[in-house]
Chains A and B, each alone.
Chain A
Amino acid sequence: MAETLSLPAPTPTGDSKEYWSAANDGRLILRACRTCGKPMFYPRGHCPACGSGDLEWREASGEGVVHACTIVHRAPDQAFRARAPYVIALVDLKEGPRMMANITDCPPEEVRIGMPVTVWFEARSETIAIPQFRPAQGEKK
């Protein structure tokens, strides 16, 4: 879809190459610390909790709950304007970290704090897909 392709596709950096590569394969992975055990978001080269550089990638369940949400009516550019109104949410992943995403496949006004959501991946270019969330199965759509 032309509209989808004109939406921003992130440019991976040294600390995020694997994250974006996994996302393009339809997997959500989290960087985690092998010293203190904590997973982090976003991926970093050192653990922000304990400073350790001994890190690993872990598969995330892709499950989370909405921590906060907003229905956006004024979009930043033409591509997003075509989607408005759309929902931006902060999602608390089952593993602990919090991330931003749109909540899709649901009327915007039905998204609420505490709603269980599941990850899916939206293609933004041939090599980049971004994690998005939709109501978990069994949730009222």
Chain B
Amino acid sequence: MSGLSGATAIVGVAETRLGKVPELGCMQMCVQAAHEAAAEAGIKMSDIDAVLTVDSMAEPFRMHSVVLSEYLGIRPRYSMTNSLGGATHCAMVSHAAAALHAGLCDTVLIATSDKLVTGLTKDQAIAALAENAGHAQYERPYGPMIPAMYALAANRYMHQYGVTPEQMAEVAVVHRRHAGMHPNAQEKTPITREDVLASKPVAMPLRVLDCSLVSDGGGAIIMTRADRARDLKQTPVFLLGVGERHLNEFVHQAPDLTTCGAKDSGEQAFRMAGLAPKDMDVAMLYDCFTITVLLLLEDLGFCPRGEAGAFVESGAIALGGALPVNTHGGLLSHGHPGRPGGVFHIIEAVRQLRGQCDARQVQDAARAFVHGNGGILSTHCSLILGRD
């Protein structure tokens, strides 16, 4: 156990509307979420003395975290704009915890937003995503989009372990069912495995419904030290464990396409928390594609190697199953505004642990696992959150 375990807590969360949000600018969405998160925590904006953010593609700034602070009218003593792809939000929670624990600040705001639907033209969005996908010299000349590079991992994983397209499709079906119970989810229309398998091919074996959504939206998180957290408005959600591991950026550099840095980031987080996979009541796993969920379930120790397909097929990841996953619907159905994507997994974990999830509430949820994955299975950060 580390001194960091249980030393800090998440005390406020908020998410903006998702989908098409033409009426708000990107920075405005960060500000709106920040005010809502602070209000639900019961803290004043002037209490915030640390700001961690992610820049947006639709409205980029040279020093995003400083611009947000200026817009909010606060003058932090700790500020950083971060870039670890889908692992950024979990990593920001980790960095915030370390800074709080070290006494570098007292109250941290984490905020992120982007507008991939109404903030960019379709061609701009595709160009922005393509520019960020693949090594400029050794990959982009071959025409890879992000789905194609995840498809390489899916192809290899299916070859080695015999997971079926039907099992992968079930991941999408479960996420859509969960989204149907979330008031803010972007896509709620139920889908079947047949719908997934009949959807348009993107990069085989991945089809449209194996891929996450494209959204506008954002979110914010407020953190403070555990002693202060107990005096605030919400039930505090304590950070019990964290771990990071970054093996590579480019997919052709991955030592093994069927296992990634999540194995080690997860082990570190469990070790810090003094807990094991079996102790988790709910898991929020980065789900940019259906394959990502399968690989993470195995690397994080929630099921044995090669058995994620069968695990999903058994109903384990659905509400009521052994390990409900992404009860908000994830990036596949709740929303995926690009860089902000990972923030919603943390927000949902916090709401589960507070017991605020109504129809999608996991009964007596006391421990939640959150995993952020960025790049092409490249960057990894795991969090373990708990009520006490």
Contact = CB atoms under 8 A, between A and B. Distances in A.
Interface of A: 7-13, 16, 20, 41-42, 67-77, 80, 83, 85-86, 88-90, 98-102, 113, 124, 130
Nearest to A103: B142
Interface in B295-323: none
A42 B143 contact: no
Interface string B319-335: 00000000000000000
Given A73-B203, A98-B252, A42 B152 contact: no
Nearest to A67: B156
A80 B145 CA distance: 11
Which are the 9 A-B pairs with shortest beta-carbon distances?
A70-B151, A80-B143, A76-B130, A10-B137, A68-B156, A68-B152, A73-B201, A71-B204, A100-B252
Given A10-B137, A42-B137, A100-B139, A76 B156 contact: no
A10 B142 contact: no
A73 B205 CA distance: 11
Contacts of B154: 70
A88 B252 CA distance: 11
B152 A70 contact: yes
Nearest to A78: B123
Contacts of B152: 68-70, 88-90
A12 B135 CA distance: 12
B203 A71 contact: yes
Nearest to A20: B137
Interface residues of B, number: 37
B202 interface: yes
Interface in B61-89: none
Nearest to B160: A113
Q: Tell me which of A8, A74, A85, A86 has the highest count of chain B C-beta atoms within 10 A of its own C-beta.
A: A74
B141 A88 contact: no
A114 to B, nearest CB: 9
B144 A77 contact: no
Contacts of A11: 136-137
B148 A130 contact: no
Given A8-B141, A73-B204, A113 B159 contact: yes
A110 B151 CA distance: 16
Contacts of A72: 143-145, 148, 151, 203
B1 interface: no
B257 interface: yes
Nearest to A91: B252
Contacts, number: 107
B349 interface: no
B201 A71 contact: yes
Contacts of B99: none
A16 B251 CA distance: 19
B202 A13 contact: no
A73 B200 contact: yes
A113 B144 contact: no
29 contacts: A9-B141, A13-B137, A16-B137, A42-B137, A67-B156, A69-B155, A70-B148, A70-B151, A72-B143, A72-B144, A72-B148, A73-B201, A73-B203, A73-B204, A76-B126, A76-B127, A76-B133, A76-B143, A77-B126, A88-B143, A88-B144, A88-B152, A90-B152, A90-B251, A90-B252, A100-B134, A100-B142, A113-B155, A130-B141
B140 to A, nearest CB: 6
Contacts of B135: 42
A67 B138 CA distance: 16
B284 interface: no
Contacts of B159: 68, 113
Contacts of A41: 138, 252
B378 to A, nearest CB: 15
B255 to A, nearest CB: 10
Given A68-B257, A73-B203, A7 B141 contact: yes
A88 B156 contact: no
B147 interface: yes
Nearest to A98: B252
Contact of A99 (B130, B148, B203, B252): B252
Interface string B147-176: 111011111100100000000000000000
Contacts of A8: 140-141
Given A11-B137, A42-B137, A77-B130, A70 B203 contact: yes
A1 to B, nearest CB: 16
Nearest to B202: A74
Contacts of A10: 136-138, 140-141
